[in-house]
Amino acid sequence: MNRVLTFWRNMTGAERAVAIAATLALAVTVVAAPFALLKRPEDVSNPDAAFARNEGAGKERQPKPAKTVNWTRYGYDLGRSKFLNTPKIRPPFRKVWKYKGDQLIEFPPIVVDDRLYFIDNDGVYFALDAKTGKVVWKKQLASLNASSPAYFKGVLYSVSLSPGQALAVRARDGKVLWRKPLDGRAESSPLVLKGRMYFGNEAGQLLALDIKDGSTIWSTELGGSVKAAPAFDSGKLYVGDYGGKMNAVRADDGKLVWQTSDLGLGIAGSGRFYSTAAVAFGRVYAGDVDNRVYSFDADTGEIAWTFSAGDYVYSGIAAADTKGTGPTVYFGSHDRNVYAVDAKTGKEKWSEGAGGQISGPATVIGDVVYVSTFSGNATIGLDLGTGRRVFSYDDGEYGPVVSDGQILYLTGGVTVVAFEPVDIGNFSYKTNKGQKGIVPPHQQRKATKAARKRKQQAQDGRPGGSDGGQQNEPRPGSGGDQQSGNG
């Protein structure tokens, strides 16, 4: 200390001023550094990133108006766009049937050849008649499940959490064809392509199995547990992991093509990807628990943009390019909102409150995006262009809807409900409490009666009167006031 004091006394005034300034600057740096590390990184915007509007999202298997389409895997297409491009499936609907089970149906069914296939949380496999909702067969093949099966040539391919296993099950009767134990639990909905079954597990592996016998073709170690379902495009599989990395893996041999870390939470660490990515427009879109949605260049892994929501984005991303909206991604968040974001730039187009936290995927059918709220127990549908609510049903939790191009199948907590589009002309109708865009049976009868009356008046040459009714339900995109409902 004496040496320091002597040194100080021998300094000139100018030297002392410099020393004081340097000491203060060092103190500020020492104090500020931890805060800088703690600070959440800013969002990324790279306007020069590659973008290809003509790739993916609606370009695969657009159904013809009079035909049904098979929804054979979680997310609909190979890129998991969660988008069925059909103009027919839109409100108003009428309820056709309702199935009620005993346990949570966390992941939505698949629909193939007039049957619905799904697995409840207790590992019970179900086949329902798509026209009636009646159980064709059911079998308990696991004790814990959180995924959808995939269908290929008469066989259902699936995984389970407990026991950690992969299975091949005959679709017509539920007979197990083969069963393979895994190194970890699995809730990654499989993708079946070219004789292989692709999925991830909690041991951090992405696997390719031979669909004939379940033998391992390759296994690739990623950066953490793999919960999301892999998406496919141009020879590569895309999947995020719980180490906070998005991965591109060559489907042929399992070689890692690129791996990109999320921006994370500052010193608090990385986020993690639960969200199943959508691959479209030359990009990979996925949500993260660092509250962001990411857009990656599918070829290089470069981050094109990030978008911050107010809370976790567990929701699987839906990607769609429709007339009047352009390339857009849709998703929900734990912040209780649904978002529509420009797929190229990451700029918000609209956001709307959902009435509860959203954990499951957004799904686009026609010109409506559907989400379910697990804290609001409801399913809502929003117009793609405006975000205006055009549908609501007072049941829902995680997986919202799927469709065969003719019927909309909605997954509630323990239910599956079938809705059919109904043409009631300009008839004004009153919905039941907690519902929107659903015509009750007695209102359908009134609409039919009013239509017959108009037809008879036209034949008699008399002017028609009002259809009557108590509340107008505008069709999506038609404008009009928003009706409130549960969720």
Does residue 476 lie in a domain region? no
Q: Which tokens in the block code for residue 389?
A: 């609510």
* Mean pLDDT, residues 73-99: 96
Residue 218 domain flag? yes
**Antiparallel, parallel or unpaired: β 83-84 and 363-365:** parallel
What DSSP string runs through 75-90? TSSTT---EE--SS--
191 in Cβ contact with 150 (< 8 Å): yes
pLDDT tens per residue across span 198-245: 999 999 999 999 999 999 999 999 999 999 999 999 999 999 999 999
Confidence of residue 58 (pLDDT cuts 50, 70, 90): low
Cα atoms in the Cβ-side hemisphere of radius 13 Å centred on 60? 21
The answer to whether residue 40 is domain-embedded is no
Contacts of 201 (CB under 8 A, 6+ apart): 159, 164, 182, 183, 184, 185, 186, 188, 207, 225, 226
Residue 3 has what pLDDT? 54
Instruction: Tell me the per-residue pLDDT of 436-481, one tens digit each, with 9 for 90 and over.
Output: 999 999 888 888 887 777 777 777 776 554 444 444 444 444 333 3
CATH number at residue 201: 2.130.10.10
Question: Under a CB-based contact definition with an 8 Å cutoff, are residues 165 and 214 in contact?
Answer: no
DSSP 406: S
**pLDDT at position 32 over 50:** no
Give one word for 445, left, alpha or beta, with left for phi > 0 and alpha for psi -120 to 50: alpha
**pLDDT over 90, % of the chain:** 71
Does 78 reside within a domain?
Answer: no
Q: Is the pLDDT of residue 265 over 50?
A: yes
pTM of the model: 0.86
For residue 425, the Cα-to-chain-centroid distance in whole angstroms is 33
pLDDT digits (tens, 9 = 90+) for 338-386: 999 999 999 999 999 999 999 999 999 999 999 999 988 899 999 999 9
Whether 455 is covered by a domain: the verdict is: no
- What confidence score (pLDDT) does residue 61 get? 58
Domain that holds residue 235: 83-421
Q: What is the pLDDT of residues 305-341, one digit of tens each?
A: 999 999 999 999 999 999 889 999 999 999 999 999 9
CA dihedral 485, 75, 364, 402 (to 10 degrees): -60
Assigned domain for 166 exists = yes
d(CA 40, CA 227): 24
Q: In whole angstroms, give the CA distance from residue 354 to residue 339.
A: 10
Q: How many domains does the chain have?
A: 1
**CB-based contact 200:206 (threshold 8 Å):** yes
> Is the predicted pLDDT of residue 75 greater than 90, yes or no?
yes
Task: List the structure tokens of 195.
Answer: 């004789």
Residue 456 resides in a domain: no
Q: What is the pLDDT of residues 92-134, one digit of tens each?
A: 999 999 999 999 999 999 999 999 999 999 999 999 999 999 9
- Rounded Cα gap, residues 108 and 410, in angstroms: 8
- Is 310 among the domain residues? yes
Write down the pLDDT at residue 453.
Answer: 78
Of 32-41, 160-169, 252-261, the least confident: 32-41
Nearest to 276 by CA among 348, 223, 202, 331: 331
What mean pLDDT value characterizes the chain?
88
Give the Cα separation of 204 and 236 in Å (integer): 18
CA distance 288 to 273: 5
